[in-house]
């Protein structure tokens, strides 16, 4: 799998302190994949920040070449259908 990132995704990653490695790990080994609008996919995984577990949500499109659209980290697990 080849990864490419939108400028928006790179900006959000920089703002939120999310590494490319964390994004790649979530795309390769998601805890869950959810269909999103416009044929995109939301891959979900866990990251840790300040000793607390967070849900990493990676919105992407494509198969062999994956374009990362945006990246979000949240502690609102139930809102996104994930239980600990």
Which whole number is the average pLDDT over 15-31?
A: 96
Give dist(CA 76, CA 82) in Å, integer.
9
| pLDDT tens digits, one per residue of 38-78 | 999 999 999 999 899 999 999 999 988 999 999 999 999 98
Q: Give 84's strand partners.
A: none
Instruction: Indicate the pTM of the whole model.
Output: 0.93
């Amino acid at each position: 799998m080849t990864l490419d990132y939108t400028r928006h995704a790179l900006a959000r990653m920089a703002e939120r302190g999310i590494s490319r490695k964390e994004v790649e790990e979530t795309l390769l080994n998601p805890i869950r994949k959810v269909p999103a609008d416009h044929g995109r996919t939301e891959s979900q995984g866990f990251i840790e920040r300040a000793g607390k577990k967070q849900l990493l949500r990676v919105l992407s499109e494509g198969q062999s070449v994956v374009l990362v659209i945006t990246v979000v980290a949240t502690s609102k697990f139930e809102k996104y259908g994930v239980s600990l």
